[in-house]
Amino acid sequence: MPELTFAEKLLIARRQLDLFQYQMAERLGVHPNSLTKYERGEGKPHAAVVRMFDLLCEQEGIRFDEFENAPAADAVQKGKSMKIVLAEKVSPATLAVFASEPGWEVIAHDQMKDGLAAALAEADALVVRSAVQVDDALLSHARKLRVIGRAGVGVDNIDAEAATRRGIVVMNTPGANAVAVAELTLGLMLALARKLPAATGGMHAGKWDKKNLQGAELRGKTLGILGLGRVGLEVARRARGFGLEVIGADPFVSAAVARENGILLLPLDEVFAKADYLTLHVGLTPQTANVINAKTLAAMKPGARIINCARGELVEDEALVAALRSGHIAGAALDVFREEPPKNLAYAGLDNVILTPHIAGSTAEAQEAVGVQIAMQVREYLKLGVAQNAVNLPSLSHEEYVQLAPFIDLAGRLGAFLAQAGKDGLEAIDLIYGGTLTELKTELVRNAAIAGLLQGSESVNRINAAAVAAERGIRVHEEKRESHRGGAATVLTVALHGSAGSHRASGTVIHGEQPRLIEFDGIDIETPLEGHLLVCRNYDVPGVIGKIGTILGQEGVNIANFALGRERTGAKPVKALAVVQVDEPVSARVLEALKPIEALIEATPITLPDGAQ
């Protein structure tokens, strides 16, 4: 038979060495994107790459004789045959993605004669929807399993921690239903503008109530979008076709990306003030919970309308009901609720509210899309080692993971701290590694920091964080320094740069598991990075600390830790920093009570996870 191609040899060698794509790229000294092209047979590799590959094969004892002498149909399959288990019913198009791969064995849900556990004994991949529970007990039967694909977004039915311990990647399909959600959003806007529920209800009741059904056009109105991820951008693209002026707020999207999509990026308060229609497309975080409340509703135009196809917890129901009843908000369309299905629906009986039972992503096309997308992701991972939309950590040796885990946790906390303490308009991120981090694989540390920073964004995790940052026009720069800071042996610094200025935080891990903040915006400080924090900036004058403590005590806030630091630049007046760890979240009332302190510049509440994660 003809000699194997370079692409075939690459795939065979990587399979035998059990390397991911990025690891093989490192061994050959090429960019992972170039390796992907080589393995797909796209483009001719440079002679130096071929020489490096030949040298690698010689060093590792990889030979291709048995593949070159095998029958044509079997040549490469010895290097990449796979067994795929489809535990739930999938579409023919999903099945076809796997069936198109020569030598791959596909076990459908109705072909598992001895049960799922037995089918997984020699399986390389498992694909599920939402019905099958993938727990540690089931995974104990899957000795060879490398990847679990979830055809959908939620992974509540998969024990990702157990999968991670076993070195199994878990993937989902965020964004596959983005078009479906965007289309329903525009449909609900039209239904509100043209009073369609009242019109169809009247007709079914035998009424011809034309005079009371005068609507409004979308053309020329202003659409405000909170959250410019996949769904938000799809909404913006479609909204322009209706002649809407599109404005948006998202601290994790650069102005350049917004401009490319015809969106005017504004501060959140300006979006509330200017929007005729406001649609929500953000994830649920401490900062976005109840973002629609009495205060933000009062800031909106009289007669504005609100659409929520994201999360029910984004809306303070009592405040929205009051605004709808008063007429200040002309209408609302809600597809999501705090409790689903809702038992006591606060909006029942309001004729200016459209209610749908969480159907935004429920289209035949979207369900087909998630199935095909997960099949393609699983295929790419098995063939090329490319992990797309993974929700857990990629494979590391146990020793590497144990060494990295505390710093992955630290990075996520530093990112979340800066996201809450900083300003909007993020454009660039710097990460500086010191001490033992200079000798470790820091991709996961980097991604954890970015995921912490982008925590209010859609479907961002430690695997896809760098790709999401690039997609949003955020530059990421990394640097390793042998001697980063005195004192702590290993230090991680994360710095943000944006239109509103820059912020920088450094941290370390003590006793092997306790994350600590040791510097913030040039001021040395030492405080736990966990729980509820109050970050106070003030002028360094007598009495400020006492006043802060007194007010917190008067408001019933218990102080667990009080850390202090001040500038050493010699500039006047000297600025100081206090990070107060308290037992409960700092309320808006407490923040108002602190405002009269003259020397206090600002007080910012921050919430971080308890304990090491």
Percentage with pLDDT > 70 across the chain: 91
Residues 287 and 311 reside in one and the same domain? yes
Nearest Cα neighbor of 228 from 191, 190, 255 is: 255
Assess whether 160 and 225 both reside in one domain. Answer: no
Q: Do 135 and 55 share a structural domain?
A: no
**What is the CATH number for 599?**
3.30.70.260
Establish if 389 belongs to a structural domain.
Answer: no
Alpha-carbon distance of 60 to 587, in angstroms, equals 61
Tokens encoding 182: 């965007």
Do 189 and 250 reside in the same domain of the chain?
yes
Residue 367: pLDDT band (50, 70, 90) is: confident
Asked whether 453 and 419 are in contact (CB, 8 A), the reply is yes
Query: Residues 569-609: pLDDT tens digits?
Result: 777 888 999 999 999 999 999 999 999 999 999 999 999 98
Alpha-helical runs (H) found in 317-437: 317-326, 364-384, 398-421
User: Scanning the structure block, which residue is given the tokens 């795929």?
Assistant: 84
Two tokens, residue 331: 């209408």
Measured distance CA(232)–CA(250) in Å, rounded: 10
- Specify the pLDDT at position 4: 80
Helical (H) or strand (E) element with 110 = none
What type of residue sits at position 340?
E
Residues 557, 584: contact at Cβ < 8 Å?
yes
pLDDT (mean) for 107-128 = 94
Q: Does residue 340 sit in helix, strand or coil?
A: coil
360 assigned to some structural domain = no
Nearest alpha carbon to residue 30 among 47, 18, 16, 13: 47
Q: Mean pLDDT lowest for which of 24-28, 54-58, 426-430?
A: 24-28
The residue to which tokens 């992974």 are assigned: 155
- Please state, in angstroms and rounded to a whole number, the distance separating the CA atoms of residues 532 and 416: 12
- Look at residues 346, 284, 334, 292 and name the one whose alpha carbon lies nearest to residue 309: 334
DSSP-derived 3-state class of residue 518: strand
Q: 395 or 507, which is more confident?
A: 507
Are 33 and 67 part of one and the same domain?
Answer: yes
Kindly state whether residue 390 falls inside one of the protein's structural domains.
no
pLDDT band at 518 (very low <50, low <70, confident <90, very high): very high
Pairing of strands 575-582, 492-498: unpaired
In this predicted structure, the answer to whether residue 184 has a pLDDT above a threshold of 80 is yes
User: Residue 49's domain is classified under what CATH number?
Assistant: 1.10.260
Residue 83 CA to residue 395 CA, distance in Å, equals: 20
Residue numbers annotated as active site: 311, 340, 358
In a domain, 548, yes or no: yes
CATH number of the domain that residue 509 is part of? 3.30.1330.90
Residues in the chain: 613
Single out the residue in 78, 109, 124 at which a domain terminates.
78
| β-strand partners of 134 | 158
166 and 184 in a common domain: no
Containing domain of residue 598, as a range? 531-613
Residue 343 resides in a domain: yes
User: Which two tokens mark 391?
Assistant: 């929700």
Residue with tokens 């727990």: 135
CA–CA gap between residue 71 and residue 296 (Å, rounded): 70
The reply to whether 373 and 342 lie within a common domain is no
Average pLDDT across the chain, whole number: 87
pLDDT tens per residue, range 214-230: 999 999 999 999 999 88
- pLDDT in the model for residue 75: 38
Residue 160 clears pLDDT 80, i.e. is over it: yes
Higher-pLDDT residue of 246 and 16 is 246
pTM of the model: 0.62
pLDDT higher than 90, residue 375: yes
Residue range 149-156: mean pLDDT, rounded: 83
Question: Quick one: pLDDT at residue 268?
Answer: 94
- Is the pLDDT assigned to residue 294 strictly greater than 90? yes
Q: Give the helix/strand (H/E) hosting 43.
A: none
The pairing of beta strand 559-566 with beta strand 575-582:
antiparallel
Give the residue-averaged pLDDT of 520-546: 93
Q: How far is CA 370 from the centre of its chain?
A: 18
Q: What is the pLDDT of residue 1?
A: 43
Is the domain of 484 the same as that of 587? no
Task: Assess whether pLDDT exceeds 70 at residue 79.
Answer: no
Instruction: Grade residue 77 by pLDDT with cuts at 50, 70 and 90.
Output: very low
Residues 255-264 pLDDT 10s: 888 888 999 9
Q: How far is CA 413 from CA 384, 446, 565, 611, in A?
A: 32, 12, 20, 11
Q: Within its chain, how far is the Cα of 532 from the centroid?
A: 22
pLDDT attached to residue 463? 64
Please state the rounded mean pLDDT for residues 50-57.
89
Per the domain annotation, does 544 fall within a domain?
A: yes
At residue 74, the pLDDT reads: 42
* C-alpha to C-alpha distance for 418 and 421, rounded to whole angstroms: 5
SS3 label, residue 545: helix
Q: How does pLDDT run across 265-288, given as a tens digit for each residue?
A: 999 999 999 999 999 998 888 888
Other CB atoms within 10 Å distance of the CB of residue 541: 11
How many beta carbons lie within 10 A of that of residue 273, not counting itself?
15
Q: What gap in Å lies between CA 577 and CA 436, rounded to an integer?
A: 29
- The answer to whether 525 and 517 are in contact (CB under 8 A) is yes
pLDDT for the residue 72: 38
Do 211 and 239 have their domain in common? Answer: yes
For the residues 90-102, what does the mean pLDDT come to?
Answer: 88
107 belongs to a structural domain: yes
Cα–Cα distance for residue pair 482/558, rounded to 1 Å:
40
| Domains held by the chain: number | 5
Residue finishing a domain among 486, 521, 556? 521
Instruction: Give the end-to-end CA distance of the chain in Å, rounded to a whole number.
Output: 54
Q: Do 190 and 172 share a structural domain? A: no
Across the range 68-97, mean pLDDT stands at 71
Residue pair 146/169 in contact (Cβ under 8 Å)? The answer is: yes
Contact indicator for 533, 606 with CB cutoff of 8 Å = yes
User: 302 and 433: one domain?
Assistant: no
On the question of pLDDT at 28 being above 90, the answer is: no
**DSSP codes, 415-453:** HHHHHHHS-S-EEEEEEEEEGGGGGS--HHHHHHHHHHH
- The alpha-helical segments, DSSP class H, found in 422-533 are 443-453, 465-471
Residues 64 and 4 sit within 8 Å (Cβ to Cβ): yes
Beta strand 105-107 with 83-86: parallel, antiparallel or unpaired?
Answer: parallel
Element spanning 105, H or E: strand 105-107
Pick from 160-174, 265-279, 404-418, 542-556: least confident: 160-174
Q: Are 160 and 260 contained in the same domain?
A: no
Which pLDDT does position 305 carry in this prediction? 98
Q: Is the peptide bond before 341 cis (omega within 30 degrees of 0)?
A: yes
Q: At a CB cut-off of 8 Å and minimum separation 6, what does 254 contact?
A: 425, 426, 427, 472, 473, 474
CA distances from 110 to 418, 492, 530 (A): 50, 51, 48
In this prediction, residue 538 carries a pLDDT of 93
Q: Give the residue-averaged pLDDT of 377-392.
A: 80
Domain boundary among 521, 544, 564: 521
What's residue 396's pLDDT?
52
User: Residue 222: which CATH number?
Assistant: 3.40.50.720
Amino acid at site 366:
A
Q: What is the pLDDT of residues 464-504, one digit of tens each?
A: 678 778 878 889 999 988 755 555 579 999 999 987 789 99
41, part of any domain: yes
